[in-house]
Structure 1
Amino acid sequence: MLELLFLLLPVAAAYGWFMGRNSVKHKELKGRASITRNLSSGLNFLLTDQEDKAIEQLLELLDIEAATIDTYLALANLFRRKGDWDKAIRIHEKLHQLKLPKPKAQQIQFELAKDYFSAGLYDRAEKLLVNVVTSPVLAEAALKQLFSIFIATQEWHKAKLYSAAVDNTKSHSLRIAQANMQTEALKQQAILTKDSLTELATRYAKAIRPKFELAQLALSQNDTKLAASALLYIVEHKPKWAADILPLLQQCELPSEEWYQLLSNLANKHQNITAVVLLACWLTEHGSAEAAEQFLLDKLEQQPSIRLFQQLLQIRQQQSAPAAEVLSSVKELVNAYLDKKSLYSCRNCGFTTRKHYWLCPSCQHWESVEPISGIDGR
C-alpha cells in the first residue's frame, strides 16, 4: 500500500500543475475578456456620440493594458484636430502618468504640449517642450513648437536660449526664425545697433531680415557704404526682393555704371519689373526718351506687365503734348487698377497683401511673404 502511495505522488503533482496552469489561463482569458468588453463598450460610446463616457471607459483600460498606446495617441490626435482639446489633454495626461521608455515618454510629452498650445496653456506647453528638445528624433519639431509659443507670447528674447539647439539641426526654416526673433528682441529692447545686426547677419547668412534692418539703420546714419553692401548681398541672393531693395539702393548713390550693370542683370536675367522700370528711367536720363520707349516696348512683348505699360504711358505723356490729356486719363485708370492689387504673397500658403510682413499672418512662416511677380507684379 505504501508503494502505491509513492506511485500516486507524481500523478498528483502532475495533476496539480495541470490544474494550476488551467487556472492561470482562465484568469488571463477572463482578463482579456474584460479588456475586450471595456474596449467594445468604449467604442460603442464613441459611435453613439457619448464621447465623455467613451473616454472614461477607454482610460480604464490604460491601467490594465499599456500596449495599445499608439491607439490612444491616434484617438487623442483626432480629438485635437476636431478642436476637443480638453479630451485630448485628458488622454495624453493619463498616458503621461505611465512608466514608459524615454523615447515613448518624450513623444507623449510632445503631443501633450501641442494640446496645451492649442488650448492656449503656453506655460504648461513650454515646460514640457524644454525636455523634448533633447530628443534626437523630436528636437526639430519641439523647437518649432517652442518658437510658436514665443511668437504667440511675443517673448522674442527666449529664442536666443536655443541658438545652440537650432545649430544642431539641419533646419533652414529654424535658422531663419532664429534670426528674425533675435532681431525682434533687439527692436523690442531698443538695442538695435549696427554691431548687433552685423553679428546676426554674419551668423545667419541666408536670412534677409538682419541685413535689411542693418541697411535701413546704416542709411539713417548716412553710412551708405555699409547699406549698399548689405542691400547688394540681398539682391544678389534673393533677386525677387529687388522691388523693395532697389529703391533703398538708389539712396546709396552707386556709381552710374555699377547701377546700370545691376539693373541690366536684374532686368534681363531675372525679368524683374522694378529693374526694367528703373532701367528705362536711366536710359531716359543718360540716353533718350525714344531709347527708353523702345526698350519698354521690347520688354512688353517678352513679358506683359501693367507696370511696364504704366511707365510707357508716362514717357509718351511727356513726349506728346497733344496726347497728354488722353494719356493722363488712361494713366489714372491704370493707377486705380494697380492701387487695388496685392503687392506681396506668401510662397508657403498663398496669403496676399499690400503690406509686407516678415512673419506671414496666415501660416506663421518667417520671410515667406515676398513681392509678387507676374502681370500685376513688380
Structure 2
Amino acid sequence: MDFDITLILMGLPVAFVLGWLASRMDLRQLRMENRQAPKAYFKGLNFLLNEQQDQAIDAFIEAVQNDPDTSELHFALGNLFRRRGEYERAVRVHEHLLSRGDLSEDDRHRAQHALALDYLKAGLLDRAEDALLKLEGTRFEAQARLALLANYERSRDWEHAALVAQKLESSGQGSFKGRLAHYLCEQAATLATAGHTEEANVLLNEAIATAPEAPRPRMDLAQLQSKAGHAAQACTTLTDAMHAAPTAVGLIAPLLAQQAIAAGQEPKALDLLKKVYAHGHSLDVLDAIVALEAASTHTTPTAREWYARHLETEPSLVAAAKWIAGEKLEHEAFHPHVQRALDNAVKPLTRYRCAACGFEAKVHFWQCPGCQAWDSYPARRVEEL
C-alpha cells in the first residue's frame, strides 16, 4: 500500500489547532487559580483589618488550599492561630513549614522563631527553650535571647538568666547590669535560706561590683550581716547604700534605723538621716528619724512635733493621721473612730505603684508581679509621687 503524504499534510493543521486549544485551556485554568489565591488572600487581610479573626482564618485557609506552596500564607495563618490562643493549630502550621524541603534558610529560621513563640504563649517552657536555642547565629538571635531571658525569669532559673543577660550585654543589646545584679541577689537569697551564708555573701558582693548604683545588693547584704549578729557592719553597708543609691533612701532608711538601734549608733544614723530628709522630705525617712529619736536617750522633739513640721512643707494626709494619733481632742471619746477613719483613708496612699503597669502593692517589689518589669516601682509611696 502506497503511503499517502496528503493525509499527513491535512492532519498538521488539525494537530496545531488542538494543541493551541489545549494550551489556552491550561492557561485559563492557571489564571483562574492565580486569581482565586490573591482574592482569598486579600479577603483575609480585609477581615483582619476589621478585627474579624474567624473570617480571616477561613479566608487564609482557602488561600493556602489554592496555593499550598506559598510560605507567607502559612506564616499569616500561624500568627492568627497564636493570636486567637489556638496554640496547637499554630504549632502544626509552623511544624509543617519546617518539614518542607523547599523552604529557604531564612524562612526556616523565621518558622523556628514562630514555633518558639507558639510554645512560649502555650506555657510549654521546655519546648520553647529548645526552639529558641536553635536560633543562635541567625538573624533572630537577639529576639531569641530576649525571649529566653523572659523564659528563664518565668521559671526562676536565675543562673541561666544571668548567662543570657551577659551575652546580651556583650553583644551590645543594651545594659543588663541591673538585671544581672537582681539575678545574683535571687541566687544569694536561695543560698541564704539553705544556710549557705558564705556563698550568699560572695554573690552579693559580686552583685555590688556588677551594679554599684543598685540599692538591692547592699540592702540584702546588710540583712545577711544583721542575721549573723553584725549590726554595726550592717549600718556601714546601709550607709554606703544611701550614698550609692540616693533615690532609694525611702527604702534604706527604715533598715538603717533598725540596725543603728541594734548597734547603739543612733546619733550617727540620726545625723545622716536628718541631712537626707532636709533634701527630700521623704515620709519614710521621717519615720526612721522618729524611731531613732524614740530610742535615743537625748532630749529631742517628739514624734508629733516632727510630723507637724512635715505638714508645714508637705500637705500629707499620712503625716496628718500620724500627728493626730497623739493629739488629745476636745471630744476624746470620738478619737478612736476618727483615727480609724483616717487610717483607712490613708491606706491607698501608703502603697507603692508600678510605673510600667500601675499595679499597686503594700510592699515594694524589685520585679512587678503584674507586668514582670524590673525596678519599675519607685522608692516613694503613692502620696509622694
TM-score range, shorter chain: 0.7 to 0.9
User: Whole-Å Cα distance in 2 between the matches of residues 262 and 313 of structure 1?
Assistant: 27
Which has the higher relative contact order, 1 or 2, with Cα contacts under 8 A spaced 6 or more apart? Answer: 1
Q: Distance in 2 between matches of 1:95 and 1:60?
A: 14
Q: Structure 1 residues 203-212 or 215-224, which shifts more?
A: 203-212
Deviations 1:318-365 (A, max 9, x none): xx9x88766565434333444566522212111011244333221012
The CA deviation at 1:113 is 1.0
Contact 1:92 1:112 in 2 (8 A): yes
SS state of the match for residue 373, structure 2?
coil
Alignment of 1:1-378 (within 5 A): 31=30, 33-41=32-40, 49=54, 54-60=59-65, 63-66=68-71, 69=72, 73-96=75-98, 97=100, 99-102=103-106, 105-135=108-138, 138-170=140-172, 174-188=176-190, 190=194, 191=196, 193-253=200-260, 255-256=265-266, 258-280=268-290, 286-289=298-301, 295-314=306-325, 316=327, 330-339=338-347, 343-375=351-383
CA deviation map 1:36-92 (0-9, x unaligned): 3134346658959466654543445665345xx3x6545543432332323433343
Partner of 2:14: none
Q: Which amino acid aligns with 1:268?
A: A
How many Å separate the matches in 1 of 2:180 and 2:237? Answer: 19
Deviates more, 1:211-220 or 1:355-364: 355-364
Shift of the alpha carbon at 1:303? 1.7
Cα separation, 2, equivalents of 1:92 and 1:79: 11
Opposite residue 88 of structure 2, the aligned amino acid is: D
Secondary structure of 1:35's aligned partner: helix
Distance in 1, matches of 2:213 and 2:32, equals: 60
Contact 2:253–2:285 at 8 Å: present in 1 too? yes
Q: Is the contact made by 2:242 and 2:252 (CA closer than 8 Å) also made in structure 1? A: yes
Quick one: distance in 2 between partners of 1:306 and 1:171? Answer: 44
TM-score, normalised via structure 2 length? 0.72
Structure 2 distance, partners of 1:353, 1:316, is 30
Q: 1:127 is aligned with what amino acid?
A: D
Structure 1 position 282, deviation (Å): 5.6
Is the Cα contact below 8 Å between 1:88 and 1:115 reproduced in 2? yes
Q: Deviations over 1:100-158 (max 9, x none)?
A: 244x54343223211111112222211121133544x6444322311322233333333
Aligned residue for 1:252, secondary structure, equals helix
Q: Note if contact 2:235-2:256 (Cα within 8 Å) is conserved in structure 1.
A: yes
Unaligned 5+ runs, structure 2: 1-18
What is the rounded CA distance, in whole Å, between the counterparts of 1:234 and 1:201 in structure 2? 10
Q: Unaligned stretches of 5+ in structure 1? A: 1-18
Whether the aligned pair in 2 keeps the contact of 1:342 and 1:352 (CA below 8 Å) is no
Of stretches 104-113 and 347-356 in structure 1, the one that deviates more from structure 2 is 104-113
Q: Is the contact between residue 159 and residue 182 of structure 1 (CA under 8 Å) also seen in structure 2? A: no
Structure 1 residue 217: deviation in Å? Answer: 0.7
The count of residues paired between Structure 1 and Structure 2 equals 348
Task: Assess, with a 3 A threshold, how the Cα gap between structure 1 residues 61 and 125 changes in structure 2: closer, same or farther.
Answer: farther
Letter matched to residue 219 of structure 2: F
Counterpart amino acid of residue 168 in structure 1: S
